Structure 1
Amino acid sequence: MKKQVLASLVAISLSPAVFAQDDEVKPFTMEGELGFISTTGNTDTTSINAGITAHQELEDWSNDYLIEGLYRQETIENDEGEDEDVTSAQKFFASAQGNYKLANPDNRLFGFASYEDDRFSNFNYQATLAVGWNQKVLENKRHTLEYSIGPGYSFIETQDEEDLDSVIVRASSVYSWKISDTARFTQTVSTEMGSDNTKSRAETALTATISGNLSMRLSFKLDHNTNVDEDIEKLDTETAVSLVYNFF
């Protein structure tokens, strides 16, 4: 099934298309993503992933917003031999970054904030504030690339209610490739290096238009923390096929 979905996305990506010639930049764009998987039979599971991504382009500011969540429920057999519904994943993440444009609009000063609540991780919550330098190093009709780097502060509370707050250095990059009028590849990477923990996130995604404002999205996410308990994995991965609706 996954091979068929991937093949369909690649076929759409490589289909003949005229590349966009319209250089107009929209002042605000927003898209919503929703993925749902339900299985029954030998294994009963329900998984939902959802998210909202928005970008705001103003004369002096370039801003990005992200909200995403993951929920998964499974039916297992308890010690009494009875079926029981249990939650096996419950995650919420939100972030915002504002980039203030300097005399050269490709050079900016950024402010960043994020908050994560992952019920099945090593932490009750992780929050970050950071400021620094942002630069758009590549921008044309098909490719964009920018990076950010600067100091910040991380607020972390473990499941044992231990505080791991520390000064950090945050670095991130965002790359986008418009393959055709109907397909887009994106890659995001970020890391927050602190004395007690280093948190890294990455997402690789291929989005293909189905019809109008509706698209299909295949994504692979990595979430890594260096300081976790022995019984908890340092690396979480998520592979998803979702529907995406472009509101603006």
Structure 2
Amino acid sequence: MSFSKTLLSVALASAAHMSWAIAPATGEVELGLVSTSGNTETNSIKGKLSVTQDLTSWKNSYLIDTLFKEEKIEEDDGTKKTQTSAERYFASAQGDYKLNEEHSALFVYGSYENDRFAGFQHQNSVAAGYADRVFGNETSSLEYNAGPGYFFSELNDGSTEEGGIIRLALDYRLTLSETAKFKQTISTEAALESNDNTKSKAETSVSAKLMGNLSLKASFNVIHNTEVPEDKEETDTTTSLSILYLF
């Protein structure tokens, strides 16, 4: 079975346990637009959709994250040419099978990412393991999941890489006030072989409620790959200001 079919099977297996009629989904939609002019002319669009459904035996989480950036470059003859400088698409699904009435669970996870400006046509991963909450109260919580998995990547030059990984993810949340919240997420997919790529992600964000279901969100994102083509940087960062809609 090909890796793409395996990833699809995992996603479908998780989706099979969903029941929209029994437990409505909750989530958030994020949209950020940035435009600059003058010495540098750029247009950036950042979008994210995250959905969570809490069922009797399963908790399912879905994420779609996109980033698009284009800029105008002045040619030698004085004319300006528009070119794309960043284009990233990411999607993931995770199903947590609850072991008790607390927060212990067995999870299965799958992800797909296309980020050609980082040197990759696509990066796929699947993992399974244990998830739990370290602590939680009215103002803060810390959750984690960890387990073994497998990755498959295709670089821009057509070459492929695959191998075993250990996936670790942390999710920390803190209520700053009645209208402000802090969130920190960190994940790493550590390669078992020293010459394979280890991929890590982190997002630090603060959101403030504007009105109703609308909030303003400021975030700082970091993506780090240990093995990249020679002409690419190992670390990409994004700072953004977005509108957040909660449902």
Q: TM-score range by the shorter chain?
A: 0.7 to 0.9
Deviations along 1:68-97, one digit per CA (max 9) or x if unpaired, are 111111111124432100111111111111
The aligned counterpart of 1:233 is 233
Q: In 2, distance between residues paired with 1:157 and 1:67?
A: 20
The aligned counterpart of 1:64 is 61
SS of alignment partner, residue 229 of structure 1: coil
Q: In 2, distance between residues paired with 1:231 and 1:129?
A: 28
Larger mean CA deviation between 104-113 and 211-220 belongs to 104-113
Unaligned runs of 5+ in 1: 1-25
Match of 1:142 among 121, 139, 142: 139
The aligned counterpart of 2:33 is 36
Q: Give the deviation of 1:62 after TM superposition.
A: 1.7
Q: Give the deviation of 1:185 after TM superposition.
A: 0.6
Match of 1:164 among 157, 161, 164: 161
2:116 maps to 1:111: no
The aligned counterpart of 1:23 is none
Contact 1:220 1:239 in 2 (8 A): yes
Which portions of structure 1, spanning 4 or more consecutive aligned residues, are displaced by more than 3 angstroms?
Answer: none
The aligned counterpart of 1:14 is none
Give the % identical residues: 46
SS of alignment partner, residue 95 of structure 1: strand
SS of alignment partner, residue 135 of structure 1: strand
Q: In 2, distance between residues paired with 1:27 and 1:136?
A: 23
* Pairing 1:155-234 to 2, within 5 Å after superposition: 155-194=152-191, 195=193, 196-234=196-234
Q: In 1, distance between residues paired with 2:54 and 2:222?
A: 28
Q: In 1, distance between residues paired with 2:123 and 2:76?
A: 34
Contact 2:116 2:156 in 1 (8 A): no
Q: In 2, distance between residues paired with 1:27 and 1:180?
A: 27
Partner AA of 1:127 in structure 2: N
Q: Give the deviation of 1:104 after TM superposition.
A: 4.7
With normalisation by structure 1, the TM-score equals: 0.86
Q: In 1, distance between residues paired with 2:126 and 2:164?
A: 10
2:69 maps to 1:83: no
With normalisation by structure 2, the TM-score equals: 0.86
Please, what is the CA RMSD of the aligned residues? 1.3
Deviations along 1:31-63, one digit per CA (max 9) or x if unpaired, are 111111112222211111111111211121122
Q: In 2, distance between residues paired with 1:27 and 1:106?
A: 20
Q: Give the deviation of 1:244 after TM superposition.
A: 0.6
Q: Give the deviation of 1:221 after TM superposition.
A: 0.5
Partner AA of 2:163 in structure 1: S
Deviations along 1:148-170, one digit per CA (max 9) or x if unpaired, are 11011101011111111111111
Partner AA of 1:224 in structure 2: H
Aligned length: 222
Contact 1:27 1:58 in 2 (8 A): no
The aligned counterpart of 1:18 is none
Deviations along 1:6-51, one digit per CA (max 9) or x if unpaired, are xxxxxxxxxxxxxxxxxxxx85312111111112222211111111
Greater relative contact order (Cα 8 A, min sep 6): structure 1 or 2?
Answer: 1
Q: In 1, distance between residues paired with 2:211 and 2:70?
A: 31
- Closer, same or farther: CA 28–138 of 1 in aligned 2, 3 Å: farther
Partner AA of 1:238 in structure 2: T
